[in-house]
Amino acid sequence: MTGAMPLILLIEDEPQIRRFVRATLESQHYQVVEAVTGQEGLLHATTRSPDLIILDLGLPDIDGLDVTQRLREWTLIPILILSARGREQEKIAALDAGADDYLTKPFTTGELLARMRVAFRHQAHMLHASEPIFQVGELCIDLAQRRVTLREAEIHLTPIEYKLLTTLAKHAGRVLTHRQLLKEVWGPGYDDTHYLRVYMAQLRHKVEAEPARPRYLLTESGVGYRLAAE
Ligand code: CA
């Protein structure tokens, strides 16, 4: 991204969605290159060096999950997936395979641009040294001191609760699947989402003013959780 606006590769077979996404991106001065099939998308990914990929899961040749897996064999470029309602399992598999986030069709201009901002921010964060202090709203996590405060009052967390919160904070704004969180917090081999739900409920009771209407620890129904980034 040397001065020029980021190049976005859009892999999508539906012309209306391509038109909508292209218009949205160009209104923000992003450069856009389009691909209609998975094969064409993989080719552009290697030859055009895009800065971010928007990838439809339902493509005519190879599906978006395969495209994600093939891309992740050689690149960490941010991938946002587009999925149709009712294709939850595919979406979760793509996230587990390394996609950064998803949008469910139909989505708005605002949602698309917000997800892109998070993906770019996250990539910058992974490339440069991370900040020792994470702050969103009135919630503050001091990673160096291992101290969590809400409205400047200290919150006491168990080691698991702390790990869960800091894992979400490291990827703030992005969705993490149940499987990714279980692996990261409890280690490989744990696949009991009930466990995760129990700890998330405890954490919300400590961190949220209204645990039933969370402001920070957001549920992505059927997929996982996301820590609010703004
Ligand atoms: Ca499609």
Residue 175, classified by CB atoms within 10 Å of its CB into exposed (0-12), middle (13-18) or buried (19+), is: buried
Distance from the CA of 114 to the center of ligand 1, in angstroms?
22
Is residue 147 pLDDT above 90, yes or no?
yes
Distance from the CA of 205 to the center of ligand 1, in angstroms?
41
Distance from the CA of 62 to the center of ligand 1, in angstroms?
11
Q: CA 72 from chain center: how many Å? A: 15
- Residue 112 and residue 29: Cα distance in Å, rounded? 14
Greater confidence (206 vs 229) lies with: 206
pLDDT in tens, 66-107: 999 999 999 989 999 999 887 889 999 999 999 999 999 999
Cβ-based neighbours of 38, under 8 Å, separated by 6 or more? 11, 59, 61, 62, 63, 64, 66, 67
Distance from the CA of 75 to the center of ligand 1, in angstroms?
23
Give the rounded percent of residues in the chain with a pLDDT score beyond 90.
80
Structure tokens at 197: 């739900």
Give the rounded percent of residues in the chain with a pLDDT score beyond 70.
97
Distance from the CA of 13 to the center of ligand 1, in angstroms?
5
User: Per-residue confidence at 44, pLDDT binned at 50, 70, 90?
Assistant: very high
Is residue 2 pLDDT above 60, yes or no?
no
3-class DSSP state of 187: coil
Distance from the CA of 102 to the center of ligand 1, in angstroms?
14
The per-residue pLDDT for 96 is: 94
Dihedrals phi, psi of 155, to nearest 5 degrees: -110, 130
The mean of the pLDDT values for the chain is 92
E strands along the chain, which residues? 7-11, 31-35, 52-56, 79-83, 101-104, 133-136, 139-142, 147-150, 153-155, 175-177, 217-220, 224-227
For the chain, give the number of residues.
230
Is residue 190 pLDDT above 90, yes or no?
no
User: Per-residue confidence at 1, pLDDT binned at 50, 70, 90?
Assistant: very low
Cβ-based neighbours of 99, under 8 Å, separated by 6 or more? 55, 68, 79, 80, 81
Distance from the CA of 101 to the center of ligand 1, in angstroms?
17
| Dihedral sign for Cα atoms in the order 23, 99, 128, 208 | positive
The per-residue pLDDT for 24 is: 97
pTM: 0.84
Residue 152, classified by CB atoms within 10 Å of its CB into exposed (0-12), middle (13-18) or buried (19+), is: exposed
Distance from the CA of 217 to the center of ligand 1, in angstroms?
31
Distance from the CA of 130 to the center of ligand 1, in angstroms?
37
pLDDT in tens, 101-145: 999 999 999 999 999 999 998 887 776 666 788 899 999 999 888
Averaged pLDDT, 180-194? 90
Distance from the CA of 155 to the center of ligand 1, in angstroms?
46
